[in-house]
Amino acid sequence: MALRRNWPGSAICIVIALAATFVSTAYGGPQLLYALFFGLAFHFLAQDAVCLPGIQFCSQTLLRTGVALLGARVTFEQMASLGSKSLIIVLLAVGSTIAVGCAVASFLGRGRTEGLLSGGAVAICGASAALAISAVLPKTKENDQFTLLAVVGVTTLSTLAMIIYPLIVHFLELDHTSAGVFIGGTIHDVAQVVGAGYLISNHTGEVATLVKLFRVACLVPIVIVVSYSYRNSIDAQEPVGTPLIPFFLIGFVLMMAANSVHWIPHLASEWINDASRFCLVMAIAALGVKTSFQSLASLGWKPILMLVSETVWIAGLVLLAIRFAM
């Protein structure tokens, strides 16, 4: 019965996700951004009672599934191989960027929720982090709209960083290890980290990827803290989930543990990563369908300023830490 109810809306999201994947593969560009814009074009379907259940399913259940499967990218061994200095730099960067996000949001008259979401997206892993944090926030139309704007913002900034940051590395004459820490510790999305890192050198790409994966692992404690902060919220239109540790985070940790003890073959790990990505693309498509261009535009310039400020902060902080601590 649930399958029959969810199928029409889910089929729409599948088609949008496939279209976004095709355009991204054929012409380049961010897959998630294409899914969002294609979804916005089908906003009228959000008013269709037949399609709505499936759209809700993709924007919530598939979103959580995609985040849980992200754990297959990371192992505890990878984290340990980074060394204490790199780990401390990343932890300082992640924590302070989220704090700066909340401070800038307060200064601009925006809510703490927006500061946490934008700061977490910049500090951890871009669009994936924005989606993961939004999954434990109160389910309001405003939060959904800001999540989409955060996805657009961090994806755009991440693409720009992939081009600009290697030039900064060259200008500052950073060695390959320091360059990897800078690239992996500051660029928002995993794909752009890999692209920028290997553009400099193989060693830089390897270090950047490991540093980035540690930032991805930081998603677990951050989302637990956010979940705890909002579990008793009374401001939401829908109740916030009662578990302190959301089930999708438990799934993330289990996938990470299984990958760490080599229970997941390399080929299966690649399939799981692809499945995770496609679930997140479908979730973004669903959120796009639920949102209108007008509602996104109504958020104004302040959220963009927040994301830019957080991006400048984390880049400057990591560069200073590299200069004085490595």
What is the spatial distance between Cα 236 and Cα 134, in angstroms, rounded to a whole number? 13
The pLDDT score that the predictor gives to residue 300 is 79
The pLDDT score that the predictor gives to residue 236 is 47
208-266 tens-digit pLDDT: 988 988 898 899 899 988 888 877 654 444 444 456 677 888 898 899 899 999 899 98
The residues, any chain, with a CB within 8 Å of residue 136's CB and separated by 6 or more, are 223, 226, 227, 230, 240, 241, 246
The pLDDT score that the predictor gives to residue 84 is 86
Q: Which of 266, 220, 221 is CA-nearest to residue 67?
A: 220
The pLDDT score that the predictor gives to residue 322 is 93
Q: For the chain, what percentages of helix, strand and coil (3-state, to nearest 5) are there?
A: 80, 0, 20
70-79 tens-digit pLDDT: 888 888 888 7
Signed CA dihedral, 145, 149, 151, 154: sign only? negative
Residue identified by tokens 């590395």 is 169
pLDDT along the chain (326 residues), means of 10: 84 96 89 88 89 91 88 83 88 96 94 92 90 86 86 86 92 93 92 85 88 89 87 52 70 91 90 92 89 73 92 96 84
For the stretch 6-11, contacts whose Cβ atoms lie closer than 8 Å and that sit 24 or more positions apart, written own/partner, are 6/53, 6/54, 6/57, 7/54, 8/50, 8/51, 8/54, 9/45, 9/50, 9/51, 9/52, 9/53, 9/54, 9/55, 9/56, 9/57, 9/58, 9/286, 10/54, 10/55, 10/57, 10/58, 10/282, 11/54
Signed CA dihedral, 196, 198, 203, 207: sign only? positive
Q: Where are the domains of the chain?
A: 2-325
Structure token digits, residue 313 = 């902060």
